[in-house]
Amino acid sequence: MSKGKPGVKGGNNHKYFTLLDKSLSFQATEAFKTLRTNLMFSLATKKKKCFAVTSAIMHEGKSTMTANLAITFAQMQARVLLIDADLRKPVQHKLFKLKNKEGLSTLLSGFNSFKEVVNEDIIPGLDVITCGPIPPNPSEMLGSENMHKLIEELQSYYDYVIIDTPPITVVTDALTLTNSIAGLVLVAMSGISIYDSFQEAIDAIKLANGTILGAVITKIPVGTGKGKYRYSRYGKYGYKYGYKYGYKYGYGGYGSYGYGSNSDANGYGYAYGYGSRYRQEQQEDDENQSQSG
């Protein structure tokens, strides 16, 4: 299938950036490597090495996040498969400039074989399966026995399988995969995400007995003053620390212990979440330090 250089325009003049775009900043590249490392720790105790990326609402950057995570995992010489399972508004074929005449939908329907739908070696180690034609029954297709069997078989060949799924509060498609995957990465965007929707997504995952591997907040504005630490509040998600390279360590409303790159011209910035337990321990440490000072 045809390939091209990522970093292409989508609908409404929105431009998708990936780590293959040379204009992407060093900070953004390093932020994704840190996300990869944190995810590897989260997956280390799991038997399954397949995870999904989702968000609470639309336009929070989850598809770009999925693509860049897949690229980053492949860059460490792992065999990685990226599946576009957003069977309603697929994006991965635009990100990687691939044809979308066949894909996951035609594979699950039995119209094509795996070999016919997989785009091999987009970069060394990374294969991609696009969405294919949008089916009339996306939720049923993702929750089907064919999908569960496919995920199980793919994990015996690939080191990591990463799935792009629709927003959770819009449709329940991602939740149908919880029994087949190690967990989900939940994406939110600074200035766009609504706290209530984010909490609703967390509750929905818990209700479906799913596992949240972490939370990633994109487009975080971070101070870049040389040698200066900045302590600032990020809405209801909590507090963040930043330092001269623009990375962000923090604990938030959902418990993000994270790295965020400076919000540059491409608007990239990230924080990674581990959970409320770490946040509480860190708060106690900070209070003890303040009292001792």
Dump pLDDT digits (tens) for 109-129. 999 999 999 999 999 999 999
Residue 119, domain member (yes or no): yes
Dump pLDDT digits (tens) for 45-67. 899 999 999 999 888 889 999 99
Residue 127 φ/ψ, nearest 5 degrees:
-110, 150
Question: Is the CB of residue 147 less than 8 Å from the CB of residue 137?
Answer: no
Residue 180 φ/ψ, nearest 5 degrees:
-105, -10
Strand partners, 239: 233, 251
Task: Give me the domain span that covers residue 182.
Answer: 21-219+267-272
Dump pLDDT digits (tens) for 75-110. 999 999 999 999 999 999 999 999 999 999 999 999
> Which strands, in side-by-side order, build the sheet including 212-218?
118-123, 126-129, 80-84, 160-164, 50-55, 183-189, 212-218, 270-272
Higher pLDDT, 270 or 28: 28
Residue 230, domain member (yes or no): no
pLDDT at residue 15 is higher than 70: no
The predicted pLDDT at position 233 comes to 30
Residue 105, domain member (yes or no): yes
**List of residues 6+ apart from 282 with CB closer than 8 A:** 251, 257
Q: Which class for 145: exposed (0-12), middle (13-18), buried (19 or more C-beta within 10 A)?
A: exposed
Residue 136, domain member (yes or no): yes
Which has the minimum average pLDDT: 146-160, 236-250, 272-286?
A: 236-250
In 183-267, DSSP assigns E strands to 183-189, 212-218, 230-234, 238-242, 248-252
Residue 180, domain member (yes or no): yes
When divided into structural domains, the chain yields a total of 1
Domain at 41, CATH number: 3.40.50.300
The predicted pLDDT at position 223 comes to 55
Dump pLDDT digits (tens) for 163-208. 999 999 889 899 999 999 999 999 988 888 888 999 999 999 999 9
Residue 290, domain member (yes or no): no
Q: Token pair of 188, please? A: 């939110």
Residue 259, domain member (yes or no): no
Residue 148, domain member (yes or no): yes
